């Protein structure tokens, strides 16, 4: 595991140098890069989760990728609490775990890293790894079954998207490594709906960066398989 993380860290460093070389004037990264509190969607999401909290066996914790799914309808269950927030990252997740435990779940599906990947570097890589491990450890400590989910690629239809997909690849390798180290289940969305480092068009929404109904079908089926396995 240590060797794997070192290799991923090297990839993150190389990517950071590549990005630096591609800019005429590279910005100096600061704490604001991961400042979740400035995300207006975060503030609204927190209020929503407080207002409509209800006992739920299942929590879908995530970013906009989770947010855009109607999970109660898709899973055909009422005991589901969807807690996706647009633009959120692992730093924001850490500070809203109390909302997960407020609904007393038995299992929590964690889709994290899509927005962290946008700012990946050698420094942030360590921080994100620690954040995700902290989230998993917190769930375990509360006897909640954690399940990690890889980040789906976007359609590689531009240089900007291809660069982002490279960052997603690095982040997904980190997520796989954490899942193996923590000995928890992993839903690998890209194995089902991607080809190379690109989301297949039939699984992409109109913006090319989120999932279509067919993409959500694959995700839902994987979630249902694990619910069956854990008898939830």
pLDDT of 156 reads 81
Residue 32 lies in a domain: no
The CATH number that applies at residue 49 is 3.40.50.1110
Q: Which domain holds residue 159?
A: 2-23+39-229
Residue 28 lies in a domain: no
Q: What is the pLDDT of residues 125-166, one digit of tens each?
A: 889 999 999 999 999 999 999 999 999 998 988 888 899 999
Residues 6+ apart with CB under 8 A from 65: 84, 111, 114, 151, 152, 210, 211
What would the DSSP string read from start to end of 28-87?
A: PP-GGGG-GGG-HHHHHHHHHHHHT----SEEEEESHHHHTS-HHHHHT-SSEEEEE-TT
Residue 33 lies in a domain: no
Q: What is the pLDDT of residues 181-204, one digit of tens each?
A: 999 999 999 999 999 999 999 999
């Amino acid at each position: 595991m240590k060797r794997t993380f070192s290799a991923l860290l090297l990839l993150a460093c190389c990517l950071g140098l590549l990005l630096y070389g591609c800019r005429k004037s590279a910005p100096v990264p600061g704490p604001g890069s991961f400042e979740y509190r400035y995300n207006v969607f975060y503030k609204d999401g927190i209020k929503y989760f407080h207002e409509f909290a209800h006992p739920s066996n299942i929590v879908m914790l995530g970013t906009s990728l989770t947010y855009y799914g109607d999970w109660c309808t898709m899973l055909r269950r009422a005991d589901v609490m969807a807690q996706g927030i647009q633009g959120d990252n692992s730093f924001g997740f850490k500070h809203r775990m109390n909302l997960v435990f407020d609904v007393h779940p038995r299992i929590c599906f964690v889709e994290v890293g899509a927005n962290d990947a946008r700012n990946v570097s050698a420094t942030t890589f360590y921080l994100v790894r620690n954040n995700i491990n902290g989230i998993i450890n917190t769930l375990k400590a509360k006897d909640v079954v954690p399940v990690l989910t890889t980040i789906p690629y976007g359609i590689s239809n531009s240089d900007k998207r291809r660069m982002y997909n490279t960052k997603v690849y690095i982040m997904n390798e980190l997520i796989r490594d954490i899942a193996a180290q923590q000995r928890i289940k992993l839903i690998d969305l890209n194995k089902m709906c991607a080809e190379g480092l690109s989301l297949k068009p039939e699984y992409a929404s109109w913006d090319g960066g989120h999932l279509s109904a067919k993409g959500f079908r694959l995700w839902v089926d994987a979630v249902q398989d694990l619910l069956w396995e854990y008898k939830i």
